[in-house]
Chains A and B, each alone.
Chain A
Amino acid sequence: MTATATLPVAHVADHDILPSRPNRGIRYVRETALLIGRGLRMIPRVPERLSDVTIQPIMFTLLFLYVFGSAIHIPGVRYQDYLLPGLIGQSMAFGVIGAGVATATDFSSGVIDRFRSLPVTRMSVISAQVVGQVIEQILGILIVAGVGLALGWRPHMGVGGTVELMLLVLLGLFAFTWLGVLAGMLIRNSDAMQGIGFAVVLPLSFLAGTFVPISGMHAIPRAIGEWDPLSALVAGVRQVAQGIHSHGSWQLDHPVVAMIGWCLLITAVCVPLALRRFRTATSN
């Protein structure tokens, strides 16, 4: 070890003594919690972010239930019961955009650099980003579910099904948030992230059988929809929440397994890439 040099310390603000540093594990938990708090405190102050998790899902629900829904008839099922699981699946995928925009904003503003120049564990910065985003998206999904229930959505699942659905939603949010964090670090510009995010996720979510069955689509969109990962989310939630089974491609026949598979795949690819990117982002 290098001998510590004794330097004159400036009496800048007649500071209180810093408590001695706890071990890494405790610091990691403490710093992650502080940084999550920072992210959550900002939600109500950024109108776009607030509306992303509140107004936008409510709007989608109302729009499809009362405007388009009146013209959509799906045999054997009330449209509320068809639509709500779809919206929940779609919300998970939209998490990519939320997480991406938040990450891009942080990386372009220099705030992340400031955190990195502090003696904080570096994992805490990225963990806080992911956990904070997941919490934000859960909020959005609870609002969608709440509005749906108020407007007549009746899920058909027991206690086991409810627990299964919650675990699936958490897994989906976790995977798609990591994807968003990685995209945000690569794109680094929040407007571009927003634009690219919508251009990719919105069409995929329409093709995923969120609002109308894939089986009734024209050949080309049907082919895309059958293999769209978002279809697995939508069909998976629908199967667990309503017991509605989808058919077509392998993933539509086994949506829950397919959804878990997609999520694990996305996580396995994105987590190491995002961590590496984070470590080297500014220390190229």
Chain B
Amino acid sequence: MTNSAPAVVAKGLTKRFGEFTAVDAFDLSIDAGTVVSLLGPNGAGKTTIVRMLATLLTPTSGSATVCGHDIVSEADAVRGKISLTGQFAALEDNLTARENLLLMARLRGYGKGTAGRVVDRLIDRFDVGEFRDKLVKSLSGGQRRRVDLAASLVTQPELLVLDEPTTGLDPRSRQVVWATIRELVQEGVTLLLTTQYLEEADALADSIHLIDHGRSVAAGTPSELKARIGDQRVDVVAVDSAGVDTLAALLGARFDITVTPARRMVSIPAPDEIVDLTAVADLVRTSGVAVDEVALRRPTLDDAFMALTGQPAETQAADDSMAGVAP
């Protein structure tokens, strides 16, 4: 069936903790079957937004519906439609991976036999088999994440919410999680994903909301945002400032360069990645200029903030001290 109703509509969603405004009049609309990413630094308010949508926090003001149900007045109905994988794996350390999944399946309402079947399919699908009977406390971070993801999928959620699913994972485990997410997306799951990595939002999302200080500072498809941020580039860092001038002259003749004298750096756009990198490296080698570094770089979250807001992202070091305080 084709559909029209959006999976999530939030209007003016606001959350204050005492005097502190963690989320400030946030608007969001997620079409069914799409992937939306909230991208922002530590303390931006991503988790707070997600927890409000998952009915774990009550908004101070504003409203939101999930699959047509109000998150405050119809919280129980929302909980039946949504599945949340929180930022920190929420599993029982002293149960095995399989016992954890069984408990989730039973709490969702399956009978004993059916729960066993559902769980065994998930174990296959998420490659948990190898450690299914190990206590969760003895699993690695990546293994836990997989069990945690599986735990969110014991029923078919209409909206899946993943809060920083790959933070703290090594690159290999990250690839595994990405592959799983891609499969889910292909199957048509509607997904809200938070992340601190531009690369991750770019790889997975249909649209991205850049968030800082609880506000949306920019939104668009990955290609729209990248067009504004700039794509990957090659950075050449010379050993001294004389070298920078030589390199600027040499590379400027062939490419559309940017020079940052303070960092003794010449940047060259590299849409063709490795081809551009080799071309630049060849030119630098034949020039004989001594360099510290020649590297291919993708834009980072910092670049995105620079380009879109004209300021670096603030990571709220000061505010973080309040994060652990129980209200």
Contact = CB atoms under 8 A, between A and B. Distances in A.
B3 A45 contact: no
Contacts of B118: 13, 15-16
Contacts of B156: 9-13, 15
A111 B110 contact: no
A114 B109 contact: no
A11 B110 contact: no
Contacts of B190: 7, 10
Interface residues of B, number: 65
B14 to A, nearest CB: 14
Contact of A34 (B58, B92, B107, B188): B107
Given A5-B68, A15-B155, A115 B91 contact: no
Interface in B33-65: 33, 51, 54-58, 65
Contacts of B83: 117
A119 B155 CA distance: 12
Contact of A10 (B17, B68, B86, B189): B189
Interface in B135-193: 135, 151, 153, 155-158, 160, 184, 187-190
B155 A18 contact: yes
Contact of B326 (A34, A45, A117, A188): A188
B86 A113 contact: yes
Contacts of A9: 156, 158, 188
Nearest to A112: B90
A8 B160 CA distance: 13
B86 A114 contact: yes
Interface in A96-121: 109-111, 113-120
B89 A110 contact: yes
Interface in A2-41: 2-16, 18-19, 21, 31, 34-35, 38, 41
A18 B105 CA distance: 10
Interface stretch (B93-101, B228-236, B284-292): B93-101
A109 B158 contact: no
A119 B108 CA distance: 7
Nearest to A118: B107
A7 B67 contact: yes
A45 B134 CA distance: 12
A3 B55 contact: no
B79 interface: yes
Nearest to B93: A109
A46 B94 contact: yes
B54 to A, nearest CB: 5
A8 B84 CA distance: 18
B90 A110 contact: yes
Interface stretch (B69-77, B258-266, B315-323): B69-77
A284 interface: yes
Given A5-B5, A6-B1, A12-B184, A19 B110 contact: yes
A45 B114 contact: no
Contact of B95 (A7, A15, A42): A42
A118 B79 contact: yes
B189 A12 contact: yes
Nearest to A33: B106
B95 A114 contact: no
Contact of B94 (A45, A117, A119): A45
Contacts of A35: 107
Contact of A4 (B68, B107, B151, B189): B68
A117 B158 CA distance: 14
B121 A8 contact: no
A282 B56 contact: yes
B187 A19 contact: no
A2 B68 contact: yes
A70 interface: no
15 contacts: A2-B69, A5-B5, A7-B3, A7-B158, A9-B156, A13-B156, A16-B118, A19-B110, A38-B95, A111-B91, A113-B56, A115-B107, A119-B79, A119-B80, A119-B108
Given A11-B187, A114-B104, 16 more contacts: A2-B70, A4-B67, A4-B68, A5-B7, A7-B7, A8-B33, A10-B156, A12-B156, A18-B155, A41-B95, A45-B95, A109-B93, A111-B92, A114-B86, A118-B108, A188-B326
4 shortest interchain CB distances as A-B pairs:
A5-B5, A10-B189, A110-B90, A114-B90
